[in-house]
Each structure stands twice: as C-alpha cells, then as structure tokens.
C-alpha cells in the first residue's frame, strides 16, 4: 500500500543525541519536488474509494495503533536518544497514556459520517 519515495536531493541532515553528542544517523533531506509528489499521491489516494470506506480507514488506524503499541519500548528508547530526555519521560508520550486512545476513539465513532 505505501511506498517509500526517495528525495531528488542528495543533501542529508545528521541526527545527534543532544545529551551525548553521539551521531545517531542521517536523514535524506526532501526537495520541494519530492514533497509535492508525496502530497499529490496522498490527494489521489484520498479521492479513491478510500474516502468513502470508513471501515477501511478505521482498520488502517487500528493497525497503526497496534504497531505503535507493539514497538512502544523501542520507540521510547529511540526518542530518548534523539531528544536527550530521560526514558521515563518518553514513555509518557507513547502508547496508552497518550495518542492511542485518540485513534481508537476516532475509529469507534462509526455513526458520524465525517469525511475529514
């Protein structure tokens, strides 16, 4: 369903742990053209049956929430490195304490025919 789109630029950004100054990795910098391409694909996708099939969208959101919950520990560890904040603080932003409930609540509101 989703595919990675490579940027047209060779520029990269370097990510550092602000607490240790350890280099964590590089991120390819997007060009305006690659961003436009991604946005055009998103608009095309939403104009498909996707926009009319709320159960399909709910299923995708539940799968996303489950993936976040499943990877909660590794996401928290990664965010701790990237932000330099302590692990306990990062756990408060991942999983059941924030975010997932909003996804679940949104997908359970089936009686509202909202197209947003």
Give pLDDT tens digits for 55-81: 888 888 888 888 888 888 888 888 888
Give residue 59's pLDDT.
87
Instruction: Return the H-helix or E-strand segment holding 26.
Output: strand 23-28
Helix 54-70, helix 100-108: angle, nearest 10: 160
Give residue 61's pLDDT.
84
Give pLDDT tens digits for 25-48: 998 888 888 889 889 988 998 888
Residue 97 has pLDDT above 50, yes or no: no
Which candidate, 105, 29, 65, places its Cα nearest to that of 75?
Answer: 65
Helix, strand or coil, per DSSP, at residue 112: coil
């Amino acid at each position: 369903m989703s595919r990675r789109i490579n940027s047209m630029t060779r520029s990269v950004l370097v990510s550092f742990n602000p607490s240790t100054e350890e280099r964590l990795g590089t991120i390819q910098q997007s060009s305006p053209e690659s961003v436009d391409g991604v946005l055009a694909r998103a608009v095309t996708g939403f104009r498909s049956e996707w926009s009319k099939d709320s159960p399909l969208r709910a299923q995708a959101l539940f799968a996303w929430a489950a993936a976040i919950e499943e990877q909660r520990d590794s996401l928290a560890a990664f965010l701790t490195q990237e932000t330099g904040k302590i692990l306990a603080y990062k756990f408060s932003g991942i999983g059941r304490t924030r975010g997932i409930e909003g996804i679940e609540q949104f997908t359970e509101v089936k009686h509202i025919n909202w197209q947003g």
